[in-house]
Amino acid sequence: MVDATVQQSQVALTDDGIPLKTKLARATRRQKLRALGLVLPLVLFVLITFVYPIGDMLIRGFYDPLVSEVLVRTGDVIDEWDGTDLPSEEVYEAFSLDLQEAAAARDHGKFALRLNFILPGTRSLIMSTGRKAKNLDPAEIDNYQAYLVDINDEWGEREVWAAIKRLTNPIQLDYYANAIDMRIDVDGSFVSQAEEQRIYLTLYWRTLWMSALVMGLCLLLAYPLSYWLSVLPLRLSNLLLIMVLLPFWTSLLVRTTAWISLLQEQGIINDVLVGIGLLDDDSRVRMIYNEAGTIIAMTHILLPFMVLPLFSVMRTIPPSYMRAARSLGANQVYAYVKIYMPLTLPGVAAGSLLVFILSIGYYITPALVGGQRGQLISNLIATHIQLTQNWSLAAALGAILLAGVLICYWMYNKLIGVDNLKLG
């Protein structure tokens, strides 16, 4: 009894008689809940405006239940078709009845559009058959296969039914096949697209090498500029840094449009070159609506994203390191290469990664100054979303692009390490 009283007296109590440990635990819990309440709106905003839209688009690339919801009867019976010959009469009957209901509900247009994405030319087939199927009377039809073939001979082609069978399965790989310039044939095998239809891999390759070139040009221009800013007095370097950041105060659209007036054949740069005699008026250089225009404009716009990480790292390097190397017998060039440049690698890596990733997803600048030769894969993704409304193909293209970015990030982490990244 005495020991219990002594032990209780050794427990620190607050003024209201609650043990101090319990009081601290309650206070810590309240702080965590308060912090969670402050962060929760931001988390919800990111989930609603960023994570959910990206996840929804990625799912659209391989999951499309629209056709399976329209062709319910057809989906139940066409799975038994082995694909070696035309489907059975049961499949023709189920499809005719499904198409009649879809045409009455005006849902056959969506189905026709989906089928046309994987088998071009079939939209008109569905629409014309749907108009006639509205008046279909099952009591008057003895042979549904003959009924559909009589409407259009294409209903006697195995390829059409193979495409319909693939669409009745919500999980589809046709869009990913198209995104890498391939297609799934009537037998379900992956084959290459016709040569004139192979455009996506070319655009992926163009996006990668142009992004790498823009990154290299930004590094080439930003490194000496950042070094100069880092060695100037603080008051002067801050003033010049404001000049570097000045383009951020101007709309991206305005900056891109300004390059059009500068780079076009009758633009300012060509006028100056003709005026000083370097070019003839008939031999003006075309610097816009091609790869050159895209590279020049993107380099100018993304240059500050390379300058800021480099400047922030160079500013922290003590000048005494270079003086110590010189005092030990190294000349200026050797000391700069062996001592100074390795210390700037975190800034180089951070700026390069930032510029490269931004370049891969750039859209406005290539659309305005790139023309046909300067378009990137992001422009084609936007075309499928806005014009062709083939969201599933756009999602597949975006997913492959995202996978490429993640691979680049993984390689960066293996070669340099994310822990060494410094943005400021």
Q: What is the pLDDT of residues 344-403, one digit of tens each?
A: 888 888 888 889 988 988 888 888 888 778 888 888 888 888 888 788 888 899 889 888
- Mean pLDDT score of the chain: 83
pLDDT (0 to 100) of residue 218: 94
Which DSSP helix (H) or strand (E) runs through 192? strand 190-192
Indicate the fold that domain 200-420 takes in CATH.
MetI-like fold (1.10.3720)
Q: What single letter denotes the amino acid at residue 406?
A: L
Confidence of residue 219 (pLDDT cuts 50, 70, 90): very high
Query: What global pTM score does this model have?
Result: 0.78
Domain extents in the chain: 18-50, 66-170, 200-420
β-bridge mates for residue 182, sequence order: 192
pLDDT (0 to 100) of residue 14: 65
What is the signed CA dihedral for 394, 400, 401, 403, rounded to 10 degrees?
A: 140
Hey, is 13 helix, strand or coil? Answer: strand
Average pLDDT over residues 130-156: 84
Q: Which residues contact 383 (CB under 8 A, 6 or more apart)?
A: none
Q: Around Cβ 64, how many Cβ atoms within 10 Å?
A: 22
Confidence of residue 2 (pLDDT cuts 50, 70, 90): very low
Instruction: Give the CA angle between residues 247, 402, 290 to the nearest 5°.
Output: 50
pLDDT (0 to 100) of residue 422: 57
Write out pLDDT tens, residues 177-217.
Answer: 888 888 887 777 788 888 888 889 989 999 999 999 999 99
Write out pLDDT tens, residues 161-175.
Answer: 888 888 888 888 888
Q: Around Cβ 139, how many Cβ atoms within 10 Å?
A: 5
Hey, is 62 helix, strand or coil? Answer: coil
